[in-house]
Amino acid sequence: MILTVTLNTALDLTYSVPALVPHTSHRVGEMSERPGGKGVNVARVLRLLGHDTVVTGFAGGATGAVLRDLLAALPHRPADALVEVAGSTRRTVAVVDRATGDTTQLNEPGPHIGPDEWDAFLRTYRELLDGADAVALCGSLPPGIHVGAYADLVRIARSAGVPALLDTSGEPLRRGIAARPDLVKPNADELAQLTGAREPLRATRDARRRGAHSVVASLGADGLLAVTPDGIWRAAPPAPVRGNPTGAGDSAVAGLLSGLAEGLDWPGRLARAVSLATATVLAPTAGEFDPTVYEELLPRVTVERHSPAI
């Protein structure tokens, strides 16, 4: 079983408009809603890849109830181990401009989490780790959660002998990486904020020196850069694509985590991650992907080793 943690779950709403024009009214052509938050997105992809998956974190209020109903209705649904809270789960709104293919994202902050609710989550987390092959710790922290929360969760996972992947940003990333997670997956902006370096290889190496066993940097349309004990790798899609990037990073995390759980080598993990991310960008609905497109892309991803073990 693979466990995913989403401390700040969300009800994801996607609106499609012919063209997004500031200061005007818009008629929405298409609208979709789905259970979201980074770890929930990762879990949905893992289930499509055939892995038993459990989601935990927080859900509350009317929005949280809708999220859980949508989660339960998925044809390939992960198990729901979300902890109920008094506050209401946040919503995120993605507005897709069909004229340009660009997406504008609006994210609410999330409910305030009290000390008793955090303690209830920690009890659930420790219990679930007992049967986990790997854990993904994903996304932002809701109000009320201390900034070192992910560092604590990484240490708990390490004590339980469960490999941990961390995908967050800002100070939670800075503190979490010092707890020595097995894998960290920042994007280029998160890397620059963490290290102060804009050059991808320098920044990724610097991030690894801060404590992570391996660092895989997401470089957008250029694919992934991995700095690992087995060497430095670059993986890229066969050609640049245009589309909605929402959820592509989460699909990449699912590819990396499933590869870790299955014991794939780094080229296999990276090829899977890039293929899933690219298929997600090409999908018409944010955060979705067509398994057929993924399978077609997988053998066409380029993975190159740039240096030996480090």
Q: Which residues are catalytic?
A: 250
Question: What CA–CA distance (Å, rounded) separates 17 from 4?
Answer: 33
Strands 79-80 and 53-60: parallel
Question: What CA–CA distance (Å, rounded) separates 281 from 276?
Answer: 9
Sign of CA dihedral 61, 64, 70, 76: negative
Question: What CA–CA distance (Å, rounded) separates 182 from 19?
Answer: 42
Question: What CA–CA distance (Å, rounded) separates 270 from 253?
Answer: 10
Question: What CA–CA distance (Å, rounded) separates 305 from 310?
Answer: 12
Q: Going by C-beta distance under 8 Å and a sequence separation of 6 or more, which residues neighbour residue 67?
A: 9, 10, 11, 35, 36, 40, 59, 89
Question: What CA–CA distance (Å, rounded) separates 74 from 272?
Answer: 23
Q: At what angle do helices 248-262 and 266-282 cross, to 10 degrees?
A: 150
- Cα torsion at 77, 37, 140, 249 (round to 10°)? 90
**Full DSSP string of 68-81:** HHHHHH-TTPPEE-
Q: Which amino acid type is present at position 299?
A: P
